[in-house]
Amino acid sequence: MTQSVVVQVGQCGNQIGCRFWDLALREHAAVNKKGIYDEALSSFFRNVDTRNGGDGADIHKGKIFSLKARALLIDMEEGVVNEILQGPLRDVFDSKQLITDVSGSGNNWAVGHQLYGCRYREHIVEKLRRMAEHCDCLQCFFVIHSMGGGTGSGLGTFVLNVLEDEFPEVYRFVTSVYPSGEDDVITSPYNSVLAMKELNEHADCVLPIENESLFSIVSKIHQMTNSGKLGSTVKQNSLLTSSSGSIKTEQEKPFDAMNNIVANLLLNLTRLDQMFSDAFSKDHQLIQADPKHSLYLACALLVRGNVQVSDLRRNIERLKPSLHFVSWNQEGWKTGLCSVPPVGHSHSLLALANNTCVKPTFTELKDRFMKLYKKKKWAAEMLASTRDHWTSQSPARKWKTRLELYLNKTKEREDNSEVSSQQEKQIMRKQPVVELTLLPLNNTVYLKNLQQSIKLG
């Protein structure tokens, strides 16, 4: 089995990461009754012999001595990390897996990226190398961060840069929490857009999550039961890796740059088929988007629990007519089955989709950015840290233009209008990524639906 390393950056990243490790341990505990360190555990945990104190050697087989998470915790303030280290998960983290500072990034992307990035680069590289050496076969890095703050967005994207330089062959999956419209951090639009540029260039796959969606999902959970966890969505990562031997990123990325994925979390108390239907409805997305009315480029369905191939096929056939797939990939489905259900439930469904419905999200972000930038509010502070990152406003517009062009193109093919395609060709010529079919190919598209339907059984 292959291994993955989780890098959690900033307050949000670390808080989510903490819940992730908690769930991962509970999942393994539910299945691994004999306490044997097996391949599934090794994907996220090391088995370390701490009896003789210090950095014990890794034990690859046999009984579990002490499980250490394959994680790197980074934060420029100590509060959150300290809390984790004093909490119930303290033994899961190695003291050498932390990078902290005291003063924080002041919600300034530039401070996180430029200042702390430069200062801590060597440290980060060294710790990542050490984690990689402990892995037999490292397959991917999971980066968890938020986009609105300073450390998560700035230093988080810096780490992404480092990962690409040092480990070009290892996949980089990023879970990004996007700020909501009423976010209390004033500079969040700047931070987000600057971070998006980095994600565009250095991430293989992005799962955007919006706090608004999480709030509505949590309130749904509260309605149905009395428990709910805010960070529970990110745990989908564990589903992805434990159920598939190799991460099939190719499935979702038709073009080199299209790697944004919209995530959906779905809770369902009813039957199996209902779970599938809900997975595609807009109420259960991890960002505010409606995938049914947009174009799907590809969709992956990963089921856990007692679900058979016939259930999967039946539901795909049932739902297919109501979903719009891109013309050259009408059967763009990837299916996977894992017989181990998630802890506390009898089955669940994870749907990841590469869908154009993220366009409104990014358009809104861009609008918020422009509002601030027009008045040059706060720009001076950020400019003081860096000059040339201001060109990053254009990527947001580029993607939007490209998405529009793509969607227009689809419409045009129906209209058969020559003129607009000429215009597009002109526009396209300016973009360095023109391809044969005039589709936006080299841009990171943040479109993935991560949908989990959990039947409370």
Partner 1 sequence: MSIVTVQLGQCGNQIGYEVFNAICSDFHSTHGICSKKENESYQEACKERFFSEEKTGVPVARAVLVDMEPKVISQTLSMAARSGHWKYDHQSHFCQKQGSGNNWANGYSVHGPTYRDVIMNLVQKEAEKCDRLSGFFTVMSMAGGTGSGMGAYVTQCLRDAFPTSFILNQVIWPYGTGEVIVQNYNSVLTLSHLYQSSDALLVHENDAIHKICAQLMNIKKISFRDVNQVIAHQLGSVFQPTYSSEGASQYSRSPLGDLMESLVPHPELKMLGLRNIPQMSENSLAYSTFTWPGLIKHLRQMLIAHAKMEEGIDWQVRPPLPGHPVPPKASPNQALHFNTSVANLVVLRGKDVQSVDLGGFRDPALYTSWLNPQEAFHIWKTPRAFNKYEKSASLVSNSQFLLQLMDNVVGKAWNMFASKAYVHQYTKFGIEEEDFLDCFTTLEQVISSYASL
Q: How far is residue 86's CA from residue 424's CA, in Å, rounded to a whole number?
A: 57
Question: Nearest-CA neighbor of 190 among 442, 375, 443?
Answer: 375
Q: Whole-number minimum distance, CB 277 to partner 1, in Å? A: 17
Residue 370 CB, shortest distance to partner 1, in Å, is 32
Fill in the DSSP letter of residue 180.
P
In the structure encoding, which two tokens stand for residue 432, read together?
């360095």
Cβ closer to partner 1: 210 or 311? 311
Closest by CA to 199, choosing from 444, 378, 371, is: 444
Q: Closer to partner 1 by CB, 137 or 186: give it.
A: 137
- CB closer to partner 1 out of 54 and 168: 168
Nearer to partner 1, 191 or 444 (CB): 444
Give me the sign of the Cα torsion angle 172, 177, 179, 180: positive
Q: How far is the CB of 97 from partner 1 (least distance, A)?
A: 24
Q: How far is the CB of 26 from partner 1 (least distance, A)?
A: 22
Task: Quote the longest CA-to-CA distance of the chain.
Answer: 76
* Complex with partner 1: residue 191 or 294, whichever CB lies closer: 294
The distance from CA 374 to its chain's CA centroid, rounded to whole angstroms, is 30
Counted residue by residue, the chain has a size of 457
222 vs 313, which CB is nearer to partner 1? 313
In the complex with partner 1, the residue whose CB is nearer, 65 or 325, is 325
Token pair, residue 46, equals 């090391």
Cα gap 207→294, rounded to integer Å: 18
Q: First vs last Cα of the chain: how many Å apart? A: 30
- Whole-number minimum distance, CB 308 to partner 1, in Å? 4
Closest approach, Cβ 7 to partner 1, in A, equals 21
Q: Least CB distance from residue 440 to partner 1, whole Å?
A: 12
Q: What are phi and psi of 324, to 5 degrees?
A: -95, 115
Task: Please name which of 1, 138, 453 lies closest in space to residue 270, comparing C-alpha atoms.
Answer: 453
Specify the residue, 99 or 298, whose C-beta has the smaller distance to partner 1: 298
Cα–Cα distance measured from residue 306 to residue 340, given in angstroms and rounded to the nearest whole number:
8
**Minimal distance in Å, beta carbon 300 to partner 1?**
8
* Residue that has been written with the tokens 């897996």 in this structure: 97
Phi-psi region of 251 (alpha: psi -120 to 50; beta: other; left: phi over 0): alpha
CA torsion through residues 195, 196, 200, 206, sign: positive
Least Å distance, CB 291 to partner 1, is 17
Q: Which is nearer to partner 1, 188 or 451 (CB)?
A: 451
Angle 358-360-361 from CA coordinates, rounded to 5°: 65
- The phi, psi pair for 230, rounded to 5°, reads -70, -35
Burial class (CB in 10 A: 0-12, 13-18, 19+), 44: buried
Nearest residue (CB) to partner 1, 114 versus 251? 251
Whose Cβ is closer to partner 1: residue 136's or residue 367's?
136
- Smallest gap from Cβ 251 to partner 1, in A, equals 5
Q: Quick one: tokens of 39? A: 């391949």
- How far apart are alpha carbons 216 and 198 in whole angstroms? 29
Q: How far is the CB of 156 from partner 1 (least distance, A)?
A: 26
Q: Identify which of residues 377 and 413 has a Cβ nearer to partner 1 in the complex.
A: 413
How far, in Å, CA of 152 to CA of 158, rounded? Answer: 10
Residue 81 to residue 61: CA distance in whole angstroms: 31
- Which residues contact partner 1 (rule: CB under 8 A)? 1-2, 39, 136-137, 139, 244-256, 298, 300, 308-311, 313, 316-317, 320, 327-335, 337, 435-437, 439, 441
Distance CA 61, CA 59 (A): 6
Q: Which residues pair with 72 in a beta bridge?
A: 7
Please report how close the Cβ of residue 227 comes to partner 1 at its closest, in angstroms. Answer: 31
